[in-house]
Amino acid sequence: MPTLTVNTGNVTRQFGTFSSQISMTHASDVTTTMKLANMPKISQDFDVQDEVNDLSELRVNIAEVSITIFDELGNGNSLFTYIDALGLSDTIQIQVTTPSGTDYFIATKSSCEYDWQARKVSIKAQAALRYDVQVTNYDTSSYETSGETNADDGLIVSSDVIRAFLEAQGSSPTLKILGHFSSVTKSDISTIPAPTSIRYIIFDGQYVDTYAEGQDVTLKLSIVEGAVVGAMMGYSFYVRRNFDSTSDSDYYAQIGSSDLKSFGVSFNERHIRNFDSVLAIQDNIDGAQISTSTTEVIDATGAQDIDINYFVPDMHTVFFNPSPVAKWQLATTGSSALSQSDMNAISDDARDSYKKSLGITSSYSVDFEIFGISTLKPYQFIQFDSDIHPTINSKKVRPSYLEYDLESDTIKGEGYIIG
């Protein structure tokens, strides 16, 4: 299909080298250049989203980019004219490359604006591989057991399902999975265990071998675990909302007064009455859901209830069968590898994650602006220094919203206290 391709070329800024490319269908193949009116902003909202004060249907937001381009292109033609020729369902593909990686976004002509006086075109676009769109680069084959001497074919651990889904969210993104309940790896289900009585809960590959299935499982896991899923600035990540480990310096950004352009606090608006949840994982060993149901009164005078009822379907217990051939196999009888105490721990972490992100455990959230787009990675939490201000001294804050402003080389954000 003929394509119009428009490039900025490499642009040097304080944070490093930047480039962008826009492409769309056209009557013939055309390649030309464009000039940015200013550097783009890339943002993502990680906050728990509610519908009319009802949290029974949770949604996951994805990254967005806002970019403004001078209308006259390098070939002398008008970008507005090219966009105007598109059909309503045609897409505009935007590629943004920063030192940390490349992100892809999609827009339609309805998300474009033209300012005749300024001779500028503004485009707002969402991450290209949206959660409700079938994509072609989702692939679990390298993660599934296949031909291993000590394992049946088609076994895949939950973290690798998440990993395959995250890999489909960009151009070779850097992956981060933090706080997932299972630490089981492919090598655990393809080698001889010690002792041989060990059992694990994993997936049968046939239940997660399409993008739609991988998407469904990943998003349900994120809800049951209280995790955020995101893709921006070259990173693709799955992070539990209350994850606050400082055991690795990559998990957090140490922020001092010299890093802060500004900060403030906002008092929480939600007034929660009841927080009820039923969180579960299904083990196909007998089709039963292993669940934890919790009812809690937060404030009897509150105005809003939280009611979360989700389960992850189609997980399986695997066991090591020493005869007639020593192999890992799907269990069809016996007890689940996931115990009730395991499910209780998952539920406790999830509920703590939601409480913190919804402002139940703290009366205020933190608004901040940080110098340098490389100072805070989108999957990290902030560890504030102890000598800034009593409201944030030594506090750990997980972002609920981030905006990377490439023009000013700053990060604006909002966050909730996790420690």
pLDDT of residue 53: 42
Task: Report pTM.
Answer: 0.92
Label the pairing between strands 410-417 and 199-204.
unpaired
Higher pLDDT residue, 287 or 8? 8
- How high is the mean pLDDT of the chain? 92
> pLDDT tens-digit profile of 247-273?
999 999 999 999 999 999 999 877 889
**Domain residue limits at 87:** 3-127
Inform me whether the pLDDT recorded for 52 exceeds 60.
Answer: no
Q: How many CB atoms lie within 10 A of CB 154?
A: 16
Q: Is residue 12, in this structure, part of any structural domain at all?
A: yes
Mean pLDDT across 219-243:
94
Q: Is residue 237, in this structure, part of any structural domain at all?
A: no
Mean pLDDT across 223-231:
93
Q: Is residue 24, in this structure, part of any structural domain at all?
A: yes
Inform me whether the pLDDT recorded for 10 exceeds 60.
Answer: yes
> pLDDT tens-digit profile of 315-361?
999 999 998 899 999 999 999 999 999 999 999 999 999 999 988 99
Name the percent of the chain lying above pLDDT 90: 81
Mean pLDDT across 385-391:
96
Count of residues in the chain:
419
pLDDT of residue 227: 95
Cα dihedral 173, 176, 181, 186 sign: positive
Q: Is residue 156, in this structure, part of any structural domain at all?
A: no
The SS3 call for residue 354 is helix
Residue with token string 């031909």:
147
CA atoms within 13 A on the CB side of 324: 0
pLDDT of residue 167: 92
Beta-carbon contacts of 234 under 8 Å, excluding residues fewer than 6 positions away, are 98, 100, 101, 102, 103, 170, 173, 174
Q: Is residue 104, in this structure, part of any structural domain at all?
A: yes
Inform me whether the pLDDT recorded for 210 exceeds 90.
Answer: yes
Q: Is residue 408, in this structure, part of any structural domain at all?
A: no
Q: Is 27 exposed, middle or buried (0-12, 13-18, 19+ CB in 10 A)?
A: exposed
pLDDT of residue 129: 66
Domain count, the chain: 1
Q: Where are the alpha helices (H) located in 96-189, listed in sequence order?
A: 158-167
Spatial contact of 397 and 413, defined as CB atoms under 8 Å apart: no
Reported as a pLDDT band with limits 50, 70 and 90, residue 155 is very high
Q: Is residue 37, in this structure, part of any structural domain at all?
A: yes
Higher pLDDT residue, 50 or 316? 316
Q: Is residue 215, in this structure, part of any structural domain at all?
A: no
pLDDT of residue 418: 97
